[in-house]
Amino acid sequence: MATAEACPKARVVIQQCLNARLQVQPPSGEKEAEYVEVGRGIVIYLCFLKGATEDLVQKMVRSILAVRLSESEPNGKLVSVLDLPGDVLIVPQATLGGKTKGKAMQYHSNIAKIEGQELYTKFCTVCAETFEINTNTKEANKTVKHGTYGNRQVLSVVTNGPYTHVLDF
């Protein structure tokens, strides 16, 4: 058994999307809410658990952007989001570390909030850097967008098949 399964240091849920829209700043006073939007690509729900490190972030990004979880057109062949090429929307989602205890959820495995925020920022940066240097995503002007850590994630997702996967690291 892989160690990741016994005691993962991070968990992501990945879904295909045709488009998605995420609030990054709630409305405040007279200021309207701010949103980011992506087109066809993947939504990454992201949670860091105890023991996660910056080295793990590098490994996670490499793996997530390379794994073949996107159906290409017209033949439906599975390719990576880099090869699609598609957009990426990163949604911080600390609830992924939850385990049921009776009717409640417990989050004992979750990383401390400040560490989680640092790793989240790093993850977003490394994804964006990868998109910058990858020929496919750069030439097709594909983009990495992300939510605001700690905020409520007001989100709409449209998909032709979510093709949901859970990856532990």
Whether the CB-CB separation of 131 and 141 falls below 8 Å is answered with no
Instruction: Return d(Cα 67, Cα 136) in angstroms, integer.
Output: 15
- The two tokens of residue 79 are 């390719």
158 binds a second copy (CB under 8 A): yes
Structure tokens at 65: 């952007």
Can residue 167 be called a binding residue for a second copy (CB under 8 A)? yes
| 39-55 core/surface letters (b: 16 or more CB in 10 A; e: else) | ebbbbbbbbbbbebeee
Select from 112, 132, 138, 154 the one that contacts a second copy (CB under 8 A).
154
Work out which of 3, 103, 133, 141 binds a second copy, going by CB under 8 A. Answer: 103
Size of the site for a second copy (CB under 8 A): 38
155 touches a second copy by CB under 8 A: yes
Binding mask 46-75 toward a second copy (x if CB under 8 A, else -) reads -----------------x--xxxx------
Q: Rule CB under 8 A: which of 24-43 touch a second copy?
A: none
Cβ nearer to a second copy, comparing 138 with 164: 164
Ramachandran angles phi, psi of 110, nearest 5°: -65, 145
- 104 vs 114 by CB, closer to a second copy: 104
In this structure, are residues 106 and 99 in contact, taking their beta carbons and an 8 Å threshold?
yes
Nearer to a second copy, 136 or 159 (CB): 159
> 10: burial class by Cβ within 10 Å (0-12, 13-18, 19+)?
buried
Write out the residues near a second copy by the rule CB under 8 A: 1, 5-6, 11, 13, 45, 63, 66-69, 78, 80, 91, 93, 95-96, 98, 100, 103-105, 152-167
